[in-house]
Amino acid sequence: MKFILLGNDLFGENLFKGFSQQGHECIQVISKPKNLMPVGHFGLQNLAKSEGLNFLEVDNINDQEFERQLKNIDFDFIVSSWPSILGPNIINLSKLGIIGTHPSPLPLGKGRHPLHWLIYMGFSDFFLTFFQMNSRIDAGDIIHQEKFELAENPTINDVLTKLNQAGYKGAYEIGNKLNQNDFLLSVAQSKLDSPYYRARTIHDLYIDFRSSAISICNLVNSYSLPFHCAKIVIAKSEIPIESCKILPNNTNDRYIPPGYVVKVDHFIMIVKSYDSLIQLTATYNISTLINQGDYIHPPSFYITKSSK
């Protein structure tokens, strides 16, 4: 069968490999222009060049001009890891429909930034759901689910590495089923009353040392590089934090108040959280910004002062 690939990153490349190794022919690769790509994405033009595939950059996937172009292509299905919503004008053009992907066990975890949320909430078991896209967000019938597990407290990069592998495995499995059936087997999602995740904002990235050590480390892990990093707000500075480690407690540490800076050494600081000392590594030398014995107040303290 012939398919079109919508994607911008290594995950999209793995979808391509899975379907192609089952004998399905990719006839068009589509990515966003580089200036519109999400963080950490690079486009699939190199994949298209190395495989001799047609390549197209599209600003607005629901644009009428792009719709006209799709109508002139003979294809059976679309595989999508597109980072924005596809309209019904695009969804209805595919003979077998559009195979969408979402990194949660749908219907749980619908909505925006699920991996960041799940890492922050302490998950170590993850799912990649392949589903038949329809006009409702993350609501289509489920085609296949791949489960993958990591050690406790994974970083976003740990999860993305496993997600890429799950993308290949799932695409390979679905490609095999298509060879047997010539149509997409799917089942309706269960009717769980599960909330849609909201989009994360810059305010979700600010570290508050009144929080537990594990919640702070989970926050850091959920937005570590190449993402924008969790941040410590102090005075007029926002310090990106790339890693976090919970330190063993001794009896006297319980009496240290949250936000107290125990040690600063170039890129590294040790600060008391609600329940433990934590070691934080910044993306640059912070020794001129923070000193041993300083207090780091809750983020609202600095934000309120700067707005006056």
CATH for 249: 3.10.25.10
Pair 132, 216 in one domain? no
Which of 181, 214, 229 terminates a domain? The answer is 181
Measured distance CA(103)–CA(167) in Å, rounded: 10
Q: What is the pLDDT of residues 164-180, one digit of tens each?
A: 999 999 999 999 999 99
Domain-embedded: residue 192: no
Query: What is the domain range of residue 266?
Result: 202-307
Q: What is the pLDDT of residues 110-134, one digit of tens each?
A: 999 999 999 999 999 999 999 999 9
Measured distance CA(290)–CA(20) in Å, rounded: 53
Q: Cβ distance 273 to 301 under 8 Å?
A: no
Domain-embedded: residue 188: no
Pair 35, 171 in one domain? yes
Domain-embedded: residue 74: yes
Pair 80, 167 in one domain? yes
Residue 81 CA, distance from chain mean position? 11
Domain-embedded: residue 69: yes
Measured distance CA(6)–CA(222) in Å, rounded: 25
Pair 14, 99 in one domain? yes
Pair 102, 206 in one domain? no
- Walk across the sheet containing 2-6 and list its strands: 55-57, 25-31, 2-6, 77-80, 98-102, 125-132, 142-149
Domain count, the chain: 2
Pair 147, 76 in one domain? yes
Pair 14, 161 in one domain? yes
Q: What is the pLDDT of residues 76-89, one digit of tens each?
A: 999 999 988 899 88
Pair 225, 167 in one domain? no
Pair 171, 218 in one domain? no
Domain-embedded: residue 186: no
Which of 132, 149, 181 terminates a domain? The answer is 181
Domain-embedded: residue 197: no
Q: What is the pLDDT of residues 254-294, one digit of tens each?
A: 999 999 999 999 999 999 999 999 999 999 999 999 999 99
CATH for 20: 3.40.50.170
Structure confidence at residue 206 (pLDDT): 97
Model confidence band, residue 305 (pLDDT cutoffs 50, 70, 90): low
Pair 146, 213 in one domain? no
List the structure tokens of 165.
Answer: 């592998």
Amino acid making up residue 16: F
Pair 136, 12 in one domain? yes
Pair 77, 172 in one domain? yes
Which of 148, 181, 214 terminates a domain? The answer is 181
